[in-house]
Structure 1
Amino acid sequence: MPDPSLYTEEEIANLVHTFYAKARKDPGLGPIFEAHVIDWDAHFVQMINFWSAQLRGTSRFRGAPMPKHIALPDLNAALFERWLQLFKETTKELGNPDLQQQANAIATFIAGRLWQGYQMSNYPDKQPVALHTA
């Protein structure tokens, strides 16, 4: 259950900006984000709204992440796992254990669901393979 008393909007904005700064520099993830995110300012607003909804229970997020991720070409489990690794590194650095625990749990769930949906859509004849999220 989201708890707005555990993390501020500023912490969520910091999480989003810090994470994407890392992801954009990552050799595997960076080119994907740069090729598909046209307006970074709008993307940051959308991601801050998404994480605010997940962590604080706000209702600003409007979007459907699954179709956008399914449409990306050539994704694989290693990319989702790297995304999650960078995300967890970021939450650890931010110094709020409540934020770290809750955001990591949500991110792990989301990465797994997006990867499962991606596989089911792009490889319908294959059995989906789970991510290694440790």
Structure 2
Amino acid sequence: MVHSFYEAVRKDEQLGPVFNTFVGDWEYHLLKLTDFWSSILLGTGRFRGTPMPKHVALPNLSAHLFERWLVLFRQVTSAQPNRAMGERAYDTAQRIAESLWYGYQMSRRPETVPTELQDV
């Protein structure tokens, strides 16, 4: 799932330029992402880290990019043979995207009320 999703992200007209600009070593990044999702979905504890600071440091992120990320995530998880795990993964991704978007806005514009992502 992780490899399929991030392959779609890399090829996406909107997300590809963002990810491909800031991810220098995709092989290493995929290992970290696999550890992250394994920890989140399977409780393996393989991931150690704090994703928020890395995302907050990126310039020019928008709600639209987070929503596009979720659209692609939905497409990939819907194609998974384990439907229950696919739904769980998408629900988790939605919460993560909302949290990262909220944190991004708070770091960039702390004087304004953060906006929510649109349901996709």
Report TM bin, short chain.
over 0.9
- 1:38 is displaced (CA, Å) by 0.9
1:16 Cα deviation from its structure 2 partner: 0.7
Paired residue total: 120
Amino acid at match of 1:29: L
Runs of 5+ consecutive residues of structure 2 not aligned to the other structure = none
User: Percent identical across equivalent pairs?
Assistant: 49
Q: TM-score, normalised by structure 2?
A: 0.97
Runs of at least 5 residues in structure 1 that lack an aligned partner in the other structure = 1-14
Q: Choose from 96, 110, 114 the match for 1:124.
A: 110
Question: Match for residue 3 of structure 1?
Answer: none
> Which whole-Å deviations, capped at 9, do the CAs of 1:15-67 have from their partners, x for residues lacking one?
11100111011111001111110111111110100110011110110111000
Equivalent of 1:23 in 2, 9, 25: 9
- Where in structure 2 are the equivalents of 1:23-102 lying within 5 Å? 23-102=9-88
Distance in 2, matches of 1:56 and 1:95, equals 16
Counterpart CA distance in 1 for 2:112 and 2:58 is 18
2:108 maps to amino acid: N
Letter in 2 for 1:107: A
Distance 1:61 1:50 in 2: 5
Backbone CA RMSD of aligned residues: 0.8
**Is contact 1:23–1:30 with CA below 8 Å preserved after alignment?**
yes
- Greater than 6 Å deviation, 4+ residue runs: none
1:107: Cα distance to partner?
0.2
Amino acid at match of 1:35: T
Match of 1:11 in 2: none
What amino acid maps onto 1:70 in structure 2?
A: V
